[in-house]
Structure 1
Amino acid sequence: MAALTADSLKELIESRLQASLVQVEDMSGGCGQAFAVVIVSPLFQGKNKLMRHRLVNNSLKEEIAAIHAFTQKGFTPDEWIAQGGSL
Structure 2
Amino acid sequence: MTTTAENIRGYIAAGLECSRLEVEGDGQHFRAVIVSPAFAGKRSVQRHQIVYAVLGDRMREEIHALSMQTLTPEEDQANG
TM-score (norm 1): 0.82
Identity %: 38
Partner of 2:68: 72
Q: Which has the higher contact order (CA 8 A, sep 6+)?
A: 2
Alignment map for 1:16-31 (pairs within 5 Å): 16-26=15-25, 28=26
Q: Once the 2 structures are TM-superposed, how far is the Cα of residue 48 of structure 1 from its aligned partner?
A: 0.7
Q: Once the 2 structures are TM-superposed, how far is the Cα of residue 4 of structure 1 from its aligned partner?
A: 1.8
CA distance in 1, matches of 2:2, 2:19: 24
Alignment root-mean-square deviation, CA: 1.2
Counterpart contact for 1:14–1:20, Cα < 8 Å: no
Q: Once the 2 structures are TM-superposed, how far is the Cα of residue 67 of structure 1 from its aligned partner?
A: 2.3
CA distance in 1, matches of 2:2, 2:20: 23
Pair 1:47-2:42 in alignment: yes
Gaps of 5+ in 1: none
CA distance in 2, matches of 1:67, 1:18: 21
Q: 4+ residue runs of structure 1 moved beyond 2 angstroms?
A: none
Deviation track 1:23-45 (CA, whole Å, cap 9, x = no partner) reads 1111x3xxx22111010001101
Letter of the aligned partner of 1:4 in structure 2? T
What count of residue pairs does the alignment treat as equivalent? 79
- Find the residue that maps to 2:3 and give its secondary structure: coil
Deviation track 1:63-85 (CA, whole Å, cap 9, x = no partner) reads 2212221111100001000010x
CA distance in 2, matches of 1:70, 1:8: 13
Gaps of 5+ in 2: none
